[in-house]
A and B are shown apart, each in its own frame.
Chain A
Amino acid sequence: MLLLLILFPLAVALLALLLPWYQARSWLLPVSGALHLLMAGVTVAGPGHAPSPWIALDALSSLVLIVTSLLYFGCAVYAVGYLDLRRDRGNKTIVPCLLVFLSAMTLAIAARHLGLLWMAVEATTLASAPLIYYNRNRLSIEATWKYLLLCSVGIALALLGILFIAYAALAGGGMPATLQLDTLLAGATQLSRPWLHAGYVFLLVGFGTKMGLAPLHSWKPDAYGEAPGMVGALLAGGLTSVAFLAILRAVQLMTAAGDGAMARQALLGMGLLSLLIAAIFMVRQPDIKRLLAYSSVEHMGILAIGVGIGGLATFGAMLHLVNNALTKGCLFLSAGNIQRAYDSKRLSKVHGALATLPISGSIFLAGFLAITGSPPFGLFMSEFTILRGIFGSGQTWIGLLMVLLLAMVFIGMGATVLTATQGEPVKLESAYKDNFLLVISPLLFLLLVLLLGVYLPEPLQNALREAAALLEVQL
């Protein structure tokens, strides 16, 4: 079943290459997205399957799989409306690439072998490069080149980190060199420490580049800014979660070896730095999509801090991962609508969105309230849980610093978003109008985030708890 989940998007991608009709090709996306979500749900909820050394799901990967699949489905529905607007650009490349991207993400999520995980993450980079280049102008070339080069080099370092971990097994002498995660976890105490630590650092740097933790985030504003809205949503909500999962695998390994504290400290440091850098660059940001990119850096920082603190904060981070993915979906899709309508994403042209585009404008504004953690949205709950974890563990200064930075983000982001949304209606030059396909996904994402803030269903709570438990010391 899991294998089918990885392979069928590839088959559909092949079909998309052959299909001569424009609309049919676009509709392949939501159809395969729905199928993927359905099958992912069945696989996760279904009875435990025979463990395979290559691909299998545990509590962590199940969570990321469902979130990614849900986000993908929403973006795929949006894509039909979006690609209809962009008939000049065509969909012959973007549809197969989106499907390959889905397949690569699923493989990365399910991988139980570090080499396979690396391969899949690199495949996501390659499949997403054409997506960022969709608009085919000078700016998108620049963004694509930076993305491709920085992420490839980053991922190359992650490969080195993976090799170091294999070497740790060899030099430790307790077992043959292996990269199978379960074997490594079982024999973690026999790994040679210096190599394991070096491997962790390289994995953190490598996958951290992909996830966009500061100071390795420099490609992010460019790539998210120039890519179409739905691609931005998939990168900011889906791919970052996948990269985070890859880092969590390394944390798991360090924890199993008894060096969890060190792993967490490194994550905490990078998380705080990300939050700080994002807060600085969000102030007076004149570009709404770059603003969202920095917001993504901020939330990656919060995830890292949550896991870095441990305990209750880890649970909060798991919840935050779900919330962040859905809210980023809502924000990027509605920002994409605004950009289409105004033919710009800069504040010099975008203002009065609330009056000009009532639906997309209000979703964008509400999405802003959600992402900055205002009650009653889900992000309030998760950020609050993380903060409670921080204060509960006695690290008051870190907690205060985080509250301060979150307030700074709220003000900085608020200034830009309010300028974009408030004001007199503008006479639009483009023929853009909100339609059902373009607003339904961001609206549903928003409602889900709202729901998560008000009520956390029991099964989800259990799933989050199990995922968090995987990252704790097991006795």
Chain B
Amino acid sequence: MLELTNPLLLAVILINFYTLGSARLVACVRVVALQGALLALLPLLSHGFTFHAMVLAAEAFCFKGVVIPWLLLRAIHRVRIRREMEPIVGFVPTLILGVLTTVGAFLFADLLPLAPEHHDGMFVPTALATMFSGFLLLITRRKAITQILGYLMLENGIFIFAVLLSAAMPFMVEAGILLDLLVGVFVMGIVVNQISREFSTLNTERLTALKE
């Protein structure tokens, strides 16, 4: 089963690239949902169908693949933005940066003192690459919704790393972390609604009244 994780992680990386290069907000939310759903398979593939892995997978699928994207799509619908995103750095440059950081992540992961059983897998480089892509999205985009997507991708990257360690994470804690993520996105969604009501835009560049 373990060999199946490689194509899955490859798909995760391709989704990173798509999100970095795409201008369509709804499509971006959908592929990040797909990424979450794919990641939900990861514990099953790497630990087999144990009870722990199954619950974790079900939770991750519900939250990352269904509920959070649904919340975001609803927020997009409500504030009526389908327009292209207006990046601070263009799509092509961010995509190139994304590719470069991914290559860097693979090179860097080879240098890490990993436990022997993790040397061959793509877990660690993919985790790093996904986190970097999330960061890029957070930094280079202006729309509040895209920044939330960046945050989600960052969490997805951490999730990949966490799968390696699920023995250290008891049930309750895993559930709590995912719940925190869900509530976090929910609260951010509420704030997004308020931003659009007050400013009639979702561009966070308008949020500059508070400064020295």
Smallest CB-CB separation from B124: which chain A residue? A167
Q: Which single member of B204, B208, B210 contacts A226 (CB below 8 Å)?
A: B210
Smallest CB-CB separation from A226: which chain B residue? B210
Interface string of A107-137 (1 = CB under 8 A from B): 0000001011011001101100110010011
In the complex the two chains form, is B210's CB within 8 Å of A126's CB? no
| Binding site secondary structure of chain B | helix
In the complex the two chains form, is A146's CB within 8 Å of B113's CB? no
Smallest CB-CB separation from B194: which chain A residue? A141
**B170 to A: closest C-beta gap in Å:** 7
A116 to B152, CA, bound (A): 21
A176 to B180, CA, bound (A): 26
Q: Is A281 an interface residue (CB 8 A)?
A: yes
Q: Is A159 an interface residue (CB 8 A)?
A: yes
Q: Which of B112, B138, B168 has the most CB of A within 10 A?
A: B168
Can you list 10 A-B pairs with a CB-CB distance of less than 8 A? A115-B169, A115-B176, A123-B180, A138-B198, A138-B199, A149-B151, A156-B155, A160-B161, A177-B165, A221-B210
In the complex the two chains form, is A163's CB within 8 Å of B147's CB? no
A139 to B195, CA, bound (A): 10
Query: Which of under 10, 10 to 19, 20 to 34, or 35 or more describes the interface residues of A?
Result: 35 or more
Q: Give the residues in chain A near B204, CB-CB below 8 Å.
A: 145
Q: Which residues in window 160-208 of B have CB below 8 A to A?
A: 161-162, 164-165, 167-170, 172-174, 176-177, 180, 183-184, 187-188, 191, 194-195, 198-199, 204, 207-208
Q: Give the residues in chain B near A163, CB-CB below 8 Å.
A: 158, 161-162, 165
Q: Give the residues in chain B near A173, CB-CB below 8 Å.
A: 115
**Closest 5 pairs (CB-CB, A-B):** A115-B173, A177-B168, A166-B168, A119-B176, A142-B207
Q: Is B4 an interface residue (CB 8 A)?
A: no
**B189 to A: closest C-beta gap in Å:** 11
Interface residues of B (CB under 8 A from A): 112-115, 131, 138, 144, 147, 151, 154-155, 158, 161-162, 164-165, 167-170, 172-174, 176-177, 180, 183-184, 187-188, 191, 194-195, 198-199, 204, 207-210, 212
**B112 to A: closest C-beta gap in Å:** 8
Q: Is A314 an interface residue (CB 8 A)?
A: no
Q: Give the residues in chain B near A144, CB-CB below 8 Å.
A: 191
Q: Give the residues in chain B near A142, CB-CB below 8 Å.
A: 207-210
CB within 8 Å for A145 and B207 given contacts A156-B158, A159-B177, A169-B168:
yes
Q: Which single member of A125, A145, A156, A281 contacts B154 (CB below 8 Å)?
A: A156
Smallest CB-CB separation from B172: which chain A residue? A116
Interface string of A154-178 (1 = CB under 8 A from B): 0010011001001101110100111
In the complex the two chains form, is A129's CB within 8 Å of B187's CB? yes
Q: Is A392 an interface residue (CB 8 A)?
A: no
Q: Which residues in window 318-334 of A have CB below 8 A to B?
A: none
